[in-house]
């Protein structure tokens, strides 16, 4: 992971790899910026406050090694990104995030710009982050139920999925029944109004496009005299009925005869004569059509115009009430008839729905009982496993039990899950939220993750000062458990305890430098003497103390023997 312009970190590259990486450093050096940077890559909310003073933006970039097929790869490709295959079914996924001084954020996934929400979606399958706020979250009933469900594995997951399906089915049917019964009168009124509208339209029997055709006919009848004069004048000019009259037809006939007589001596005139002959036929056709047009006008009159206007008025009145046009009315008849079938079937549908809701409720009861049974069985196992872990985490007399009790139904089930801790021998089990100190809560959380990792492994765990409030032997055991967790997952822990850092296979230090006016931090990989010096500083505050250095070597040897 590469950081640039993030808080006190001007620029740093973190060589994170498999196993257990410990991140240490002086107070204020910027250790939490490592977690903040990772949080940005996981789609968490961007805050302009993380931008380093003097920088125009903060940048975080990282590379995940992920399976080249599966949910993560599918989500990346859905977002338009690409993976870089590296063999053995794995691929590299490049992600990035920038935050400007204005607070505006941009993300990239697999080389493509993407919403930050895509990063958050990927995070669900890639990493679990535990910080001080996450320890507080463990106090919530929802987080405790989620922990139990994760531990329960396939058995709880299958029961939970079956319950959710049953819950969704019951809610959908119940909502439909509620709508029908609540709106029954309104739906009855709708059916009455719809039936009246359809009856009114069907009595008028409008035809498709009738309003347009009637408007054109009315326009013609309103100007009938003007049309008659124009048609009669044109017809008279083309073909008069007067004896000895001169019209276009007679003139064309005379011209045609003249050319036909001379055409025997010149082919050109013969061709023109044929053209005139064709024109004569076409003029005769036009004259005949004009005669028909005039005959039709003679039959049309004020009575027809009056009837047309009445029909138009009727259609206009219906259109104003039922859609605005004849075509809209016809569509209302078609769709309204289907709607009437639905509304008229309400009574039968309500009877059927009541039966369906009852059956769905019964199926939901069965699914809830099976989910409760699966959770109860898992609760016994989880309590015993975490208790064993707590004993190894310097809480030898502590007992954790998981109580599954009835609760109001929701999509998550009908169970209230509570982690109960008896911190000392003879103490009554009390909810973790009220009985655990900060240090105890850290160890309970770590114990739960170690146990759950066996049934629901997560690729990466990030712990931000999981060792808060503890020290001594308890801190050594925390380091051991983080190392054990790192056998199956990548573990990154920000810590201030040498006892924890000793068990890391990769030790990074955030180093603060200042010239008196500007403070900047960098990240260094520690090995050999430099790591011993950092361990000594963590133990005593003095990197060159002989006693602290000897103690540091002792811790490192202890961790090495464990490996």
- Strands 20-25 vs 506-514: parallel, antiparallel or unpaired: parallel
Strand partners for 461 = 128, 491
Cβ atoms of residues 522 and 530 within 8 Å: no
Nearest to 62, CA basis, from 115, 102, 17, 118: 17
Beta strands in 337-439 (DSSP E): 399-410, 413-422, 430-431
For residue range 158-177, list pLDDT tens digits in order. 999 999 999 999 999 999 88
**Domains of the chain in sequence order:** 1-130+477-524 (3.40.50.300), 198-343 (no CATH)
Please determine, for residue 387, whether its predicted confidence score (pLDDT) is greater than 90: yes
Q: How far is residue 447's CA from residue 130's CA, in Å, rounded to a whole number?
A: 13
| Terminal alpha carbon distance of the chain | 26
Nearest to 493, CA basis, from 543, 442, 536, 438: 442
Report the helix count and the strand count for the chain, using DSSP H and E. Answer: 19, 16
For residue range 495-532, list pLDDT tens digits in order. 889 999 999 999 999 887 765 555 567 788 999 999 99
Summarize the confidence of residues 35-60 as an average pLDDT.
Answer: 87
Q: How far is residue 24's CA from residue 112's CA, in Å, rounded to a whole number?
A: 33
Nearest to 43, CA basis, from 83, 95, 103: 95
Over its C-alpha atoms, the chain yields an Rg (Å, rounded) of 44
Residues 6+ apart with CB under 8 A from 83: 66, 68, 73, 76, 77, 91, 92, 93, 110
Tokens 């036009």 found at: 286
Residues 6+ apart with CB under 8 A from 432: 138, 139, 144, 418, 419, 420, 421, 441, 444
What is the strand order of the sheet 399-410 is part of? 399-410, 413-422, 430-431
In this structure, what token pair is assigned to residue 493? 């822990």
φ/ψ of 504, rounded to 5, equals -75, 145
Q: How far is residue 302's CA from residue 156's CA, in Å, rounded to a whole number?
A: 85
DSSP 86-97: EETTEEEEEEEE
Does 448 or 241 have the greater pLDDT score? 448
Please determine, for residue 34, whether its predicted confidence score (pLDDT) is greater than 60: yes
Residue 205 binned pLDDT confidence (cut-offs 50, 70, 90): confident
Q: Which of 94-103, 187-196, 366-375, 449-458 has the lowest mean pLDDT?
A: 187-196
- Write out 150-172 in H/E/C secondary structure: HHHHHHHHHHHHHHHHHHHHHHH
Q: How far is residue 525's CA from residue 531's CA, in Å, rounded to a whole number?
A: 9
Please determine, for residue 302, whether its predicted confidence score (pLDDT) is greater than 70: no
In this structure, what token pair is assigned to residue 237? 């000019």
Please determine, for residue 132, whether its predicted confidence score (pLDDT) is greater than 60: no
**Class of residue 56 by CB neighbours under 10 A (exposed 0-12, middle 13-18, buried 19+):** exposed
Cβ atoms of residues 247 and 237 within 8 Å: yes
What Å distances lie between residue 260 and 246, 278, 284, 500, CA to CA? 21, 13, 19, 122
| Stated pTM of the model | 0.62
Q: How far is residue 540's CA from residue 555's CA, in Å, rounded to a whole number?
A: 14
Q: How far is residue 405's CA from residue 416's CA, in Å, rounded to a whole number?
A: 5
Q: How far is residue 555's CA from residue 552's CA, in Å, rounded to a whole number?
A: 5
DSSP 426-455: TPPPEEHHHH--HHHHHHHHHHHHHHHHTT
Longest Cα–Cα distance in the chain: 144
Q: How far is residue 138's CA from residue 127's CA, in Å, rounded to a whole number?
A: 17
Cβ atoms of residues 422 and 399 within 8 Å: yes
Q: How far is residue 473's CA from residue 181's CA, in Å, rounded to a whole number?
A: 66
Length of the chain: 563
Count CB neighbours of 351 within 10 A: 10
pLDDT of residue 481: 87
Summarize the confidence of residues 380-405 as an average pLDDT.
Answer: 90
Please determine, for residue 109, whether its predicted confidence score (pLDDT) is greater than 60: yes
Q: Which of 117-131, 223-237, 373-387, 420-434 has the lowest mean pLDDT?
A: 223-237
For residue range 242-265, list pLDDT tens digits in order. 655 678 888 888 888 888 777 777
Summarize the confidence of residues 40-65 as an average pLDDT.
Answer: 88
CA angle 267, 270, 275 (to 5 degrees): 130
Mean pLDDT of the chain: 84
In this structure, what token pair is assigned to residue 516? 């008196």
For residue range 137-157, list pLDDT tens digits in order. 566 788 889 889 999 999 999
Cβ atoms of residues 416 and 141 within 8 Å: yes
């Amino acid at each position: 992971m590469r950081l640039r312009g993030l808080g006190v970190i001007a620029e740093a590259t973190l060589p994170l790899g498999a196993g257990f990486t410990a991140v240490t450093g002086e107070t204020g050096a910027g250790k939490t910026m490592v977690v903040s940077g990772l949080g940005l890559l996981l789609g968490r909310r961007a805050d302009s406050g993380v931008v380093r003073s003097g920088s125009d933006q903060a940048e975080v970039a990282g590379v995940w090694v992920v399976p080249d097929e599966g949910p993560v790869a599918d989500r990346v490709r859905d977002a338009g990104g690409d993976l870089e295959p590296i063999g053995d079914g794995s691929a590299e996924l490049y992600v990035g995030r920038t935050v400007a001084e204005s607070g505006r954020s941009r993300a990239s996934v697999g080389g493509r710009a993407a919403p930050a929400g895509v990063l958050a979606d990927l995070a669900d399958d890639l990493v679990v982050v535990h910080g001080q706020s996450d320890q507080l979250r463990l106090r919530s009933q929802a987080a405790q139920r989620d922990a139990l469900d994760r531990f329960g594995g396939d058995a709880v997951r299958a029961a939970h999925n079956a319950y959710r399906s049953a819950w969704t089915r019951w809610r959908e049917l119940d909502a439909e029944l509620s709508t029908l019964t609540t709106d029954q009168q309104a739906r009855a009124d709708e059916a009455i109004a719809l039936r009246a509208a359809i009856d009114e339209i069907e009595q008028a029997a409008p035809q498709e496009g009738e309003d347009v055709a009637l408007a054109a006919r009315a326009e013609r009848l309103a100007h009938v005299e003007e049309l008659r004069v124009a048609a009669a004048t044109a017809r008279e000019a083309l073909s008069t009925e007067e004896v000895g009259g001169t019209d276009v037809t007679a003139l064309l006939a005379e011209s045609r005869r003249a050319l036909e007589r001379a055409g025997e001596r010149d082919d050109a005139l013969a061709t023109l004569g044929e053209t005139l002959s064709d024109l004569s036929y076409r003029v005769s056709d036009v004259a005949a059509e004009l005669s028909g047009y005039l005959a039709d006008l003679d039959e049309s009159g004020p009575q027809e115009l009056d009837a047309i206007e009445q029909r138009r008025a009727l259609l206009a009145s219906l259109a104003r009430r039922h859609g605005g046009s004849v075509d809209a009315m016809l569509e209302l008849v078609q769709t309204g008839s289907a709607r009437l079938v639905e509304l008229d079937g309400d009574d039968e549908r309500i009877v059927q729905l009541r039966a369906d809701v009852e059956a769905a409720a019964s199926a939901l009861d069965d699914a809830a009982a099976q989910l409760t049974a699966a959770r109860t069985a898992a609760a016994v196992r989880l309590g015993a496993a975490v208790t064993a872990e707590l004993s190894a985490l310097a809480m030898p007399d502590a007992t954790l039990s998981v109580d599954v009790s009835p609760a109001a139904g929701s999509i998550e089930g009908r169970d209230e899950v509570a982690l109960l801790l008896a911190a000392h021998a003879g103490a009554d089990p009390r909810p973790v939220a009220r009985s655990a100190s900060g240090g105890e809560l850290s160890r309970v959380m770590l114990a739960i993750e170690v146990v759950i990792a066996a049934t629901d492994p997560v690729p990466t765990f990030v712990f931000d000062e999981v060792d808060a409030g503890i020290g001594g032997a308890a801190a050594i055991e925390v380091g051991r458990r983080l190392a054990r967790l790192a056998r199956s997952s990548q573990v990154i822990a920000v810590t201030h305890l040498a006892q924890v850092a000793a068990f890391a296979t990769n030790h990074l230090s955030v180093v603060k430098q200042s010239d008196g006016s500007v403070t900047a931090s960098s990240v260094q990989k520690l090995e050999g003497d430099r790591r011993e010096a950092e361990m000594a500083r963590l133990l005593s505050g003095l990197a060159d103390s002989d006693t602290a250095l000897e103690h540091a070597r002792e811790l490192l040897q202890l961790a090495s023997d464990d490996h």
